[in-house]
């Protein structure tokens, strides 16, 4: 992979992190905490994953995910 493609990928990851940070910062009634591991869940498709965090904000308890980024991204998509 050439270095320009890698740089563009890194920039996209940084921009996604910035969006998550700004979204978290703007929330009211935010509750974010780590789950004791192992905390195993099953998705609707039957796949199993370990939930690392729980997130609620604005009176909504958001669905668990396999990473903090996934949980925040899903919560952000509900509010758009």
Per-residue pLDDT tens for 40-66?
888 889 999 888 899 999 899 998 888
Domain count, the chain: 1
Q: Which domain holds residue 48?
A: 3-78
pLDDT, position 2: 66
What sign has the CA pseudo-torsion 75, 23, 21, 31?
negative
pTM value is 0.77
């Amino acid at each position: 992979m050439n270095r320009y493609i890698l740089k563009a990928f890194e920039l996209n990851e940084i921009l996604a992190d910035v969006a998550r940070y700004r979204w978290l910062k703007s929330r009211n009634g935010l509750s974010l905490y780590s789950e004791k591991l192992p905390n195993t869940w099953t998705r609707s498709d039957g796949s199993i994953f370990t939930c690392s965090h729980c997130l609620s904000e604005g009176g909504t308890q958001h669905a668990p995910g396999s990473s903090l980024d996934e949980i925040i991204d899903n919560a952000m998509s509900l509010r758009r």
